[in-house]
Amino acid sequence: MSGFLARAVGRIEPRFSATPRTAALLCAVALFMALLHVWQTWAFVLPSGQFKNIHLCLALVVGYLALANGDAGKGRTLSSGIALVLAAACFVPLLYIHLEYDALVTTRPFFPNGADLAVASLLLVLALVAVWREWGASIPIIAALAMLYAYWGNLVPGFANHAGIGLQRLVATTSIPYFRGLLGGLTEVSASTIFLFMLLAGLLKATGGLDYIMRAAFGLVGGLRAGPAQAAIVSSGFFGSISGSIMANVASTGAFTIPLMKRSGFSPHFAGAVEATASAGGQVTPPKLGLTAFLIVGITGISYAEVMVATVFPAILFYAFLMWGVHLRAIREGIDARAMRESARADIPMMDMSLPRATLLHAHLIFSVGVLVALLVGGMPAGMAALYANIAIVGSELVKRVAVGAAGLNGPRSPVRGLTDGLVVVARGLIYGARSGASVAIIIAVISIMVEFVVVTGFAQKLSYAMLEMSGGRLWLLLPLSALACLAFGIGLPTSAAYILVALLGAPAMVQLGVPLLAAHLFVFYYANMSAITPPVAVGALVASNIAGAGFWKTAFTALRLAIPGFLLPFLFVVQPGIIGIDVGIAEQLLLVAVAFVALVALNSAIEGHLLAPLSMIERVLLLPAAFGLLDPGRMTDVAGLALFAAILARQILIARRDRRLPTPEHSA
């Protein structure tokens, strides 16, 4: 039996064959969870509260089984056994809440009995331990501090003082019978929307979507001066928008791109920094913003289409700045593009086939993503749009596999074998997606505890008043305070969880000073995201430096320099909201974006010391006021900054032309 299990799970995931029993359980529960979410989204057969309970408890089961499987593979028998016991314990709240649901919401919604409180406490402990095992101790500690603050708030001095919450109410607020906290509104977003998108990401990965993204990126920009590095930027950006985690994105794409950049001639710390920065940019790239787009919609009530349109041009500016910086570095270090193209064949998948052929083989994936974008822009609810995109991928992949099998392109003619292979690929993708979705679900649920008690105790409103008082009601002082708070609150958290926290604590004060709601939320979102590459934690830079074999601090500070737009653009959202389309037409928005692009080019050139030719120190210094003049919303500063940049650019053109006319040493000889 164990041999059969090893072969079965090994076909889905080769790494699992060493631990067949645990892996088989993990695959079965993950696959069941995926199919259940598809069924619920399609038919809506369960009430919201029941489905949130099943979503969270199955996510905990999947999380603990994954931990047990990993520990078993490393020979940690005791740790694996404990994880299995905790996985089994998750069925207690799952079954209790499911069976008692009608009574919980009708006869005792505000008067829980002892069993209700015991189950709520068990669910709380299971969630905190799961997050601690997977994400470290920081998030459970913050959640525990939030609960302690809620209970003993009367002992807290200063503006944060409150009357305190009784123990029974505190426990009931974490999940049942109030259906808040772990089972609150954010968990509903996770269950109805985010999980479906994680399934989509898993299917794209299993069906070769990631490989095609990398191959297409290299085909599009591989011929540039810093081609392979530019391809790394493009592929990381596309995949980062889907993955929902900077760390996961760096680990997935960085395993290919970082060695490629190193062999191309870039230093290890620069290669790691490029990957970390590109992955951070993926989290602010439409259509999904690393899954955070749907949280912004849920928290603010702003339409998805408005959020997506607002974030298109900032993402373009971010990546244009990064690609220009890499181009200048390649020039400065004399890196040869042709040598880099040759080295790419050892790292980039599908480089042995032409881009048109690779595109033809993956046309069904492109079609499925197109279906998703079209449905979202058309106003369909995000979860349902993701469901249709998943169906499109599964259906088209199975048709493709059957056609390949019938034609005998991968061996003897056998459409049945093609169908079987296709089903294995689909199962693998659903399991990948469910595993990732479970991880996101757990951390969002625990973050929801913090959110709940921040709201219940009035701390969010009190913090807003405190920030307004510290800034004296001056926006220019409030913005840096908010930025620092967002960087601090976002440390070590995945993008979606970081946004939830900072949206509650950082955005309200800005809105009170008249900042547009969308601009305020994009401000805090960008800064929460940038915490992933900001020392001292900088989890994205940490993963990238490990892959690159480079020093953490050098990689992190290089990433900071490459990610300057991520720190400057949020201020533009506030002082010049037209750049995200607020109260302006498309023509004026394009003009604002063009001016911002010139400003970022000037700033990057000043940092790298090169525009069209090497810059003198005086030119580098002069480019700084030119850049910041262009970023300032005033018309006169725009004109002055543009004139200064144009003067330096004209001199650079003359120098570049002169250098091209000079004979090379070989010609002189």
- Under the banding of pLDDT at 50, 70 and 90, the label for residue 535 is confident
pLDDT at residue 352 in the model: 67
Rounded Cα distance, 236 and 255, in Å: 11
Whole-number Cα distances in Å, 548 to 70, 261, 326, 545: 24, 10, 17, 5
Number of C-beta neighbours around residue 489 at 10 A: 23
HSE at residue 562, side-chain half, CA atoms within 13 A, is 31
What is the average per-residue pLDDT within 317-345?
A: 75
pLDDT in tens, 604-642: 888 878 788 888 888 888 888 888 888 877 788 888 888
Whether 89 is in a domain gets the answer: yes
Determine phi and psi for 614, rounding to 5 degrees: -55, 140
Whether 224 is in a domain gets the answer: no
From 104, 134, 164, the end of a domain falls on 134
Rounded Cα distance, 457 and 150, in Å: 6
Range in 2-6, 334-338, 624-628 with the lowest mean pLDDT: 2-6
The count of domains in the chain is 2
What is the average per-residue pLDDT within 468-485?
A: 85
pLDDT at residue 634 in the model: 77
What is the average per-residue pLDDT within 278-299?
A: 82
The vertex-258 CA angle with 324 and 219, nearest 5°, equals 60
Number of C-beta neighbours around residue 211 at 10 A: 17
- Under the banding of pLDDT at 50, 70 and 90, the label for residue 223 is confident
Name all contacts of 30-34 with Cβ < 8 Å and 24+ positions apart: 30/62, 30/430, 30/431, 30/434, 30/435, 30/438, 31/427, 31/430, 31/431, 31/434, 32/58, 33/58, 33/59, 33/62, 33/434, 33/437, 33/438, 34/199, 34/430, 34/431, 34/433, 34/434, 34/437
> Is the Cβ–Cβ distance between 395 and 374 less than 8 Å?
no
What is the average per-residue pLDDT within 644-667?
A: 73
Whether 34 is in a domain gets the answer: yes
Name all contacts of 375-380 with Cβ < 8 Å and 24+ positions apart: 376/287, 376/304, 376/305, 376/308, 377/305, 377/308, 379/303, 379/304, 379/305
Instruction: State the chain's mean pLDDT as an integer.
Output: 84
From 134, 167, 194, the end of a domain falls on 134
DSSP string for residues in 421-435: HHHHHHHHHHHHHHH
What is the average per-residue pLDDT within 289-311?
A: 83
> Is the Cβ–Cβ distance between 57 and 94 less than 8 Å?
yes
From 101, 134, 167, the end of a domain falls on 134
The DSSP H or E segment spanning 5 is helix 2-12
Whether 539 is in a domain gets the answer: no
* Helix, coil or strand: residue 614: strand
Domain interval for residue 35: 2-134
More confident residue, 24 or 221: 24
Share of the chain above pLDDT 90, in %: 25
* Helix, coil or strand: residue 527: helix
- Provide the residue count of the chain: 669
Report which residue type is found at 376.
Answer: L
Whether 14 is in a domain gets the answer: yes
More confident residue, 299 or 191: 191
Q: Where are the alpha helices (DSSP H) in 472-585?
A: 475-489, 495-505, 507-512, 517-530, 539-548, 552-562, 564-575
pLDDT in tens, 224-234: 777 778 888 88
Determine phi and psi for 100, rounding to 5 degrees: -95, 10
> Is the Cβ–Cβ distance between 130 and 440 less than 8 Å?
no
pLDDT in tens, 226-276: 777 888 888 888 877 776 677 777 877 887 788 888 877 888 999 999 999
Which residues lie across from 610 on neighbouring strands?
Answer: 614
Whether 601 is in a domain gets the answer: yes
Which class for 1: exposed (0-12), middle (13-18), buried (19 or more C-beta within 10 A)?
exposed
Rounded Cα distance, 629 and 479, in Å: 19
Report which residue type is found at 601.
Answer: V
pLDDT in tens, 174-211: 999 999 999 998 899 889 988 998 899 889 888 888 78
Cis peptide before 625 (omega within 30 of 0): no
> Is the Cβ–Cβ distance between 52 and 188 less than 8 Å?
yes
Whether 25 is in a domain gets the answer: yes
pLDDT in tens, 415-431: 778 888 889 899 999 99
The vertex-161 CA angle with 505 and 183, nearest 5°, equals 50
Whether 437 is in a domain gets the answer: no
